[in-house]
Structure 1
Amino acid sequence: MPLLPLRGLIVYPTMVLHLDVGRDKSVQALEKAMMDDHLVCLVSQKDMGIDEPTKEDLYRTGTLAKIKQMLKLPNGTMRVLVEGLNRVTVTEFEDSEEYFVVHVEKQNEEHQVDVEDKALMRTLLDYFEQYIKLSKKVSVETLSTVSDIEEPGRLADIVASHLPIKIQLKQEILEITDVKERLNTIISHIQDEQEVLQLEKKIGQRVKKSMERTQKEYYLREQMKAIQKELGDKEGKTGEVATLREKIEASGMTDHVKQVAFKELDRYEKIPATSAESSVIRNYIEWLIALPWTNETEDTLNIHNAEQVLNDEHYGLEKVKERVLEYLAVQQLTKSLKGPILCLAGPPGVGKTSLARSIATSLDRHFVRVSLGGVRDESEIRGHRRTYVGAMPGRIIQGMKKAGTINPVFLLDEIDKMSNDFRGDPSSALLEVLDPEQNHNFSDHYIEETYDLSKVMFVATANNLATIPGPLRDRMEIIQIAGYTELEKLEIAKRHLLLRQLENHGLQKGNLQIRDDALTAIIRLYTREAGVRNLEREIASICRKAARIVVSGEKKRVVVTAKTLEEFLGKPRFRYGQAETEDQVGVATGLAYTTVGGDTLAIEVSLSPGKGRLVLTGKLGDVMKESAQAAFSYVRSNTEKLGIDEKFYEKHDIHIHVPEGAVPKDGPSAGITIATALVSALTGKPVRREVGMTGEITLRGRVLPIGGLKEKSLSAHRAGLTKILIPHDNERDIEDIPDSVQEELDIVLVSHVDQVLEHALVGEVK
């Protein structure tokens, strides 16, 4: 009969399957079989890679099969349906060039089923069921079909046909004629396959457990990225990264910072969006993009225009205006001056913050304000490291982002109110910011890359310079802003405060008129301050009452005069000035400097019978107590010259008191005032009521210089004094006193207590 060589396939008896035949010899063999009895011998090749096999390339055991159907396909291939009938052994090959012709011998497969066969069949079925559950390559329906077979040989062949074993092993099973041996061989192969499958399952579970969730998400996101790319979807992370890349390119960063930004962007692109680090990196990139790197406003280098702006918005303050105009002039000539660091120092309410805003307006620069009051953490200035949760840049970098340019006017408000604790010293962190030689490469802990602050004009404000550390104070140019005179307050009220409050309260100029004598009365009798904040509050109070009158329809126009002022503000809160109404013994008027400006200080001395005990009251600080001791020692050592009983201290207790005991008082300027009050009390000579004085005293009677002369002279003028005694060494500070005050004050320079007593006491001192 004709022989059909098979490649990579074994056909067992009782098997029905389709074969595609394409080789010429095989096609001719099929045609011959169809012309005869439809029988053909199916034998597998030893090497499936050979196209023209010889008899040496074929196995000797095969399967006699019947051709059930044959169909010729359009590509010339024959598709046949064959059914395996019996095992056969090829006994002889006949020579034929057209196709293989062989003589075959059928093998006897009749077998008497015994108990051992049944046991083997049951074992085989159990193993085959387990194999199906593990492999899932064979359908469950196959198991039900196989279970119904009662012939052990046929069962063995069908199970063998479903096993994924090599062709050689399948050929070995085909060659086994003994049914028991065949069943045992197949059971052995199934056991081997089961072990392999179980091992594969363990390995798969181990790999599945070891594969982290982030890796899984990474693969999914890569797939998503590919899908988005195909769809042209720019809403996902791909589009976000592309947008960020464009922004980095357009931000104007330095090359080094740009490299850092791109490196972080690459990390951001690879990390899943659900990762905690993803948001940290994105925030960092967005901060780098948001910072101004090259955006710069052009200064309006017009001195006359700048002077006009400063004068329009602020009355007085000549020194500050002069300093700003000097800066503008130098900038116009050099065009490369580093930003100055100014510190506006003075009491509250004198216009330090609004002046800084006016400086920005006059320069046509952006203005940004940062309040440092209560800041006690160094990271508030330098920022937090990115390793911390919720890390942010410091206030300097935040301010630069808010400004949007590299050359704003940057106001550091309340720089004297910073503190320090275990979290660091913020004032030390400001040293780099406020040093023109260092701030071109300022380093923030969050940004990490250097940032140029050299073009920023820093303006600081402070009430008390004493609380600013020395190294920080040394880096700033201190501009003292003293309190305003009455005339200046009057002009400020008319030009600015009244107009602003009218607008705030919805009033027109025709609805309310506050005359000059009323404004002067408010300044003298209802406020006591260096600045104008309380003055503005009192004006606002009048505006509220005027608004009620206008709305109720009582009057269309309200006029406030000094006589009608009590109707709006009530009884006066302060006595005009602090000068005594008459010359008194043992009471001298001193001039003091406080954080709210200058003030007058009455020092009282009383004598009582005793044994020379010195009592000090009035909540005095250590410095003032020492001044009192020095004055007392001077008087005791100069009793003869002063015409005082040498043994006064043995007969009297001396009580020195400074009124307003609840107010802390300290400072080196009350020595000559205490000495004058002491001498007055001991000699019985009154102190002139119109004289105020300031100066420290030595044990030899020398008068030492003091600070805050301008503020003290303003307080003397406000108090109605006409003569002030100041240390001779303070002559250089007289030019700081406004001309209007100098004209009304008799300023006397003294270098010794004798001169003080000469001007202060009524009558001559012996």
Structure 2
Amino acid sequence: KLEHEIKVLEVQELIRTKARESMEKEQREYFLRQQLKAIRKELGEEEEKSKEIEEYREKIKKAKMPKEVEEAVLKELSRLEKMHPESAEAAVLRTWLEWMVELPWSKRTRDRLDIERARKILDEDHYDLEKVKNRILEYLAVKALIKKRKKKVKEVKQPTICFVGPPGVGKTSLARSIARALGRKFVRISLGGVRDEAEIRGHRRTYVGAMPGKIIQALRKAGTKNPVILLDEIDKMSSDFRGDPSAALLEVLDPEQNREFVDNYINHPFDLSEVLFIATANTPHTIPEPLYDRLEVLNIPGYTEYEKLQIAKKYIVPKQMKNHALTENDIVFTDSALLHIIRHYTREAGVRNLDRRIAAVCRKVALWISEGKEKKYRITKKLVEEILGAPKFIPELELGEDEVGVATGLAWTPVGGDVLFIEAIVTKGSGRLILTGRLGEVMKESAQAALGFIKANADKYKIKKDFSKIDIHVHVPAGAIPKDGPSAGITIATAMLSALTERKVRKKVAMTGEITLGGKVLPVGGLKEKILAALRYGAKTVILPEKNKQEVMEELPEEAKKKIKLVFVDRVEPVFELALYPEEKGKKSKKKAAASK
């Protein structure tokens, strides 16, 4: 019993000791905190904190946020007031508050809806592109009418315009001109290589180093809620395990949803309905279907030689002269020199490389003037070659000599039109069709259709070979580059027939068109770019599908029509007549070659 009482007393003593220690610790902490508070007050830190809180309150008031957002931000500010100023959470909260107060919740620029002024700006900055300019002026005209009749008409959100065209044709600069014409701020967002959804929608605040997405960042940079935002290279986005950024863009570009766009970092709705989004792409084929459905695509094709000359004279030369501090008393470009640069030092649909070549000439002249050489330089063909070296491209030699089994096709690529040489040879074998050059399924099927037609008409074309004892090998050079599409059908058929009949193909006759088993020629796309590519390579005739005639005649500039012969066909027989040497001529040339040997 005595032992029990002793144990009880020991426990009581232990509890008293622990309670005393705890109280002493709390008193000590309280005393130290009061001391720290007094020291901070003496240093002026308390005043700084209250001053910071007051500054935030003033900024929140000036931001004119929606009521619900303002209440939530003030609540977070109250939390910051109670936090230790050096804590990690306080730093995160400060960053978030900075973003919230700097976003343009109510700031906007007034649109300048002067149609004539806009037309003047667009013409100042870009040559031709009438279709695109008219579409932009239509957009401004609608805005102006709605403003004029705002009591009667409810404003309808315009679709997002997407400029599609090869590099260097002026897609980005056109968007910048639109912003200038409207009097709005301009911000460019590069989407090339973006594969994380958070790049668009932002990261949640809980992550270390979290930031808003590119859309909210662009709005903060613009400082207004109605800027022109350029979504550059929208076709270059991809997706992985972190989500699909193109799906996040659906909400941004949908007029019905973007009034309440929620960025994960901001975590409150932001109205994007007043933003004018403009997208650019090199090809529409890689844009996801749901996103493509929200875009109004305006094609900007490549330029003709004449158009490039005018662009060089009116825009590039003056710009580069200004960039290199040159005047008309220092340098003069002749038309022949500019054409020489266009033809022999560039091969492109746009004018980016032309810009670089002219810049190189200006740099060299600036160096010569600095060294105290001649005072004024007249840029001629000879001087161009002295500065830029030997010509890089000689169109007259590119197509080469006429030969058996090699036909000149035309292709469309994301960087413009191009010439495609299709080769065919006949060897001993077992009736196989061998296709090489990284051809896609559609192109392989086009080759099979072409061979089917030739087999069915073997007697008509006097083919004496037994198809069961030969192999036909079709190859498309640049074997590392994947190729697909039906537009090489008539070119493959021409190369095959040439190889089977040993008749030469005229290299300066380029062609494009889909072939059917019955020999019909079906329409294809990208014709303006293809014809311009044929011109660049020095082709004299282009064979095209009859069903594309109206489109070609409307889109192709008059200057290009004068330089090349366009032949429209609805069957493949006229293609063979135009592209292949007559049978007699082919035989004679063969005999001459044997005699010379």
TM-score with structure 2 length normalisation?
A: 0.88
What residue is the counterpart of 1:654 in the other structure?
A: 472
Give the Cα separation in 2 of the matches to 1:482 and 1:578.
26
* Equivalent residue in structure 2 for 1:281, among 74, 93, 96: 93
2:519 corresponds to 1:701: yes
* Residues 605-616 of structure 1: pairs in structure 2 closer than 5 A: 605-616=424-435
Match of 1:418 among 223, 237, 248: 237
Give the direction of change, closer, same or farther, for the CA distance of 1:249–1:756 in structure 2 (3 Å limit). same
Decide whether the 8 Å contact of 1:725 with 1:748 is kept in 2. yes
Point out the more displaced range, 507-516 or 387-396.
507-516
Q: Report whether the alignment pairs 1:595 with 2:414.
A: yes
How far apart in 2 are the matches of 1:730 and 1:572? Answer: 35
Which residue is equivalent to 1:713?
531
Deviation by residue 1:33-80 (Cα, 9 ceiling, x = unmatched): xxxxxxxxxxxxxxxxxxxxxxxxxxxxxxxxxxxxxxxxxxxxxxxx
User: Which structure carries more relative contact order (alpha carbon 8 Å, separation 6+)?
Assistant: 2
Q: Residue 562 in 1 paired to residue 378 in 2?
A: no
CA offset digits 1:148-168 (Å, max 9, x no partner) = xxxxxxxxxxxxxxxxxxxxx
Higher share of residues assigned helix? 2
Structure 2 counterpart of 1:237, from 46, 49, 59: 49
Match of 1:665 in 2: 483
Amino acid at match of 2:471: D
Mark the CA change 1:221 to 1:741 in structure 2 (over 3 Å): closer, same or farther. Answer: farther
Q: 1:567 Cα deviation (Å)?
A: 1.1
Q: What is the match of residue 318 of structure 1?
A: 130
1:549 corresponds to? 368
Q: How does 1:323-334 map to 2 (within 5 A)?
A: 323-334=135-146
Shift of 1:465: 1.8
- Letter of the 2:511 partner, please give it: M
8 Å contact 1:330–1:337 — kept in the other structure? no
Q: Once the 2 structures are TM-superposed, how far is the Cα of residue 205 of structure 1 from its aligned partner?
A: 2.2
Instruction: Tell me the residue number matched to 1:206.
Output: 22
**Residue identity matched to 2:281:** A
Is the CA contact (8 Å cut-off) linking 1:584 and 1:688 kept in structure 2?
A: yes
Instruction: Tell me how far apart the structure 1 counterparts of residues 190 and 32 of structure 2 sit (CA, whole Å).
Output: 45
1:351 paired residue number: 170
Which residue does the alignment assign to 1:730?
Answer: 548
Partner residue, 2:299 = 480
Residue ranges of structure 2 left out of the alignment (5+ in a row): 1-10, 148-154, 585-597
Alignment match of 1:445 (pick from 264, 270, 274):
264
Counterpart residue type for residue 667 of structure 1: G
The answer on 1:307 being equivalent to 2:123 is no
Q: Distance in 2 between matches of 1:577 and 1:428?
A: 48
1:278-334 deviation digits (Å, cap 9, x = unpaired): 112221111111000111111110111101101111112222211111100000001
Tell me the equivalent position of 1:677: 495
Per-residue deviation, 1:217 = 8.8
Q: Distance in 1 between matches of 2:502 and 2:45?
A: 99
Q: In 2, are the aligned partners of 1:586 and 1:606 still within 8 Å (CA)?
A: yes
Match of 2:105 in 1: 293
Compared with structure 1, are the counterparts of its residues 560 and 241 closer, same or farther at alpha carbon in structure 2 (3 Å cutoff)?
A: same
TM superposition shift of 1:610:
4.4
1:635 aligns to 2:448 (yes or no): no
Deviation, structure 1 residue 518: 1.1
- How many residue pairs were aligned? 566
Deviation at 1:753, TM superposition (A): 1.6
After alignment, is 410-419 or 492-501 more displaced? 492-501
- Which residue identity does 1:364 align to in structure 2? G
- Residue in 1 that maps onto 2:317: 498
1:267 and 2:79 correspond: yes
**Pair 1:211–1:275, CA change in 2 (3 A):** farther
CA displacement at 1:669 relative to structure 2: 0.9
In the alignment, structure 1 segments of 5+ residues that lack a partner are: 1-194
Deviations 1:100-139 (A, max 9, x none): xxxxxxxxxxxxxxxxxxxxxxxxxxxxxxxxxxxxxxxx
Q: Distance in 2 between matches of 1:212 and 1:355?
A: 70
> Per-residue CA shift, 1:590-647, capped at 9, x if unaligned?
11001110011122223344444433333433433332222122211221233322x4
Structure 2 contact 126–174 (Cα < 8 Å) conserved: yes
- Aligned Cα root-mean-square deviation (Å): 2.8
Partners of 1:278 and 1:212 lie apart in 2 by 26
Matched, 1:407 2:204: no
Matched-pair contact (CA < 8 Å) for 1:342–1:458? yes
Structure 2 contact 399–538 (Cα < 8 Å) conserved: no
The Cα of 1:206 is off from its aligned counterpart by 1.3
How far is 1:517 from its partner? Answer: 0.8
Matches within 5 A, 1:98-113: none
The 8 Å contact of residues 399 and 537 in structure 2, kept in 1 or not, is answered as no
State the one-letter code of the partner of 2:365.
Answer: A
What SS does structure 2 have at the residue aligned with 1:411? strand
Cα gap change, 1:218 to 1:317, in 2 (>3 Å): farther
Alignment CA distance shift 1:218-1:313 (3 Å): farther
- Pairing partner for 1:744 from 563, 566, 569: 563
Deviation string 1:654-711 (CA, Å, 9 cap, x unpaired) is 3323334444433321011110122223234433444221111222222222111121
Residue 394 of structure 1 aligns with an amino acid whose one-letter code is G
Calculate the TM-score normalised by the size of structure 1: 0.69
Identity %, equivalent residues: 54
Distance in 2 between residues matched to 1:729 and 1:196, nearest whole Å: 104
Residues of 1 paired with 2:478 and 2:513: CA distance? 21
The correspondence for 1:395, drawn from 198, 214, 227, is 214
Give, in whole Å, the separation in 1 of the partners of 2:583 and 2:90: 86
In structure 2, distance between residues paired with 1:759 and 1:222: 96
CA contact (8 A) 2:424 2:475 kept: yes
Counterpart Cα distance in 2 of 1:663 and 1:514: 38
